[in-house]
Structure formats: structure tokens, C-alpha cells
Amino acid sequence: MLCGIDEAGRGPIAGDLVVAGCIFYSDTKIDGLNDSKKISEKRRYELFEEILPNTINHVVVISPQEIDNDGISKCMTRALEEIKFTLNADEYLFDGNTTFGVKGLDTMVKADGKVAEVSAASILAKVVHDLNIIRDSKVYPQYGFQRHKGYGTKFHVEMIKEHGYSPIHRRSFKLKALEETLL
């Protein structure tokens, strides 16, 4: 049994980091799986609804505060270890080129577009990340999180300059465009 693992939200300056692990039931076949970034938002949500009942999965959500306190690498290590502890598989495959020091974890660059279990994990992580940031956009509407999903777009940076940081911003992620403004 293979456990595919991927993350969403490692690069944004706001919102949660989400890491998902996914094992298919032996008879599972889901058409249309791919890297979550290469699928339309509508199709991601459809696949999400199909993946959930047809897999054994575990999703780890790490808050911006945890990222600021511990650093993104330690948070990734903890999430990967939690998935390995929670999901019993013969092999664990993580999308990318680093194991973050986690033993017994294989990596493959672009596995999210090549291996169905990793594609499914990619979709789970992306949908949970996006649902969380859309929820947060209702609490902090001035930042337009639903538009940029927490990434450091020009609009997002302008909103931080205008309103300051919100509680879901990762203050440890430094942007040159903000350094002079918020010092």
C-alpha cells in the first residue's frame, strides 16, 4: 500500500499550511486526478468529494502562529511524522525533493502529477487550505483572501500596508515591499 503525501500553503504569507496523506482502497479508481494546481477549482471540489469516501486519509492543518513560532521546516517535519504515524502503509511518497528529515519517506519531484495517491493528497490539501482561507476572508474581508488565497500578490501587499497584519498573517515571512512600511 502506498501513501501519497502533498502539501498546500507552504508559500503564502497568510493562512494555514495543510499537509495531506492518502491511501487508496484496493479497488479505488478515480478518473481525472492530477496536480491540484492544474485542475480547475470546480473540478478540484468535485474530486475532493470523490476522494474522501474512497480513501484512507489524514489531513494536518498547521496555523500561522505555529509556523511563526517553530518555522516552516519544523512544521513540515511534524506534519509528515503525524501522517506516517496515523496512516499505516508499506511506502510513503511525498511530492518534492526533501523529506524534512523524516525517515522512511520517499520523494519524487512532480509526483502530484504522476502518482494517483499523491495527486489525491494534493487535491485534499489544496481544497482544505482554500476552504480555510475563504472562511478567514469572511472574518477579515479587507484583505481579499478569497482572491489570492494568502499569497503575496500586489493587491495583498497593498492591503497589509493599509490595514496592517491580521492574526492569520505569517509575521515570520518577510517581504521587502513591507519592510520599510511596517518598521
Beta bridge partners of 73: none
pLDDT score recorded for residue 176: 74
CATH architecture, domain defined by 2-182: 2-Layer Sandwich (3.30)
Mean pLDDT of 116-133: 97
For 178, list phi and psi in degrees, rounded to 5: -105, -20
Q: On the CB side of 168, how many CA atoms lie within 13 Å of its CA?
A: 26
Distance CA 149, CA 143 (A): 10
pLDDT score recorded for residue 26: 86
What is this structure's pTM?
0.94
pLDDT score recorded for residue 180: 56
Q: Where are any strands of DSSP class E within 47-153? A: 55-62, 91-95, 106-108
pLDDT score recorded for residue 183: 44
pLDDT score recorded for residue 174: 80
What does the pLDDT look like over 144-183, one tens digit per residue?
999 999 999 999 999 999 999 999 999 998 877 776 555 4
Listing from the earlier edge strand, what are the strands of the sheet with 91-95? 55-62, 17-24, 2-8, 91-95, 106-108
> Residue 14's closest CA among 176, 162, 179, 137?
137
What does the pLDDT look like over 59-117, one tens digit per residue?
999 999 999 999 999 999 999 999 999 999 999 999 999 999 999 999 999 999 999 99
Distance CA 64, CA 170 (A): 5
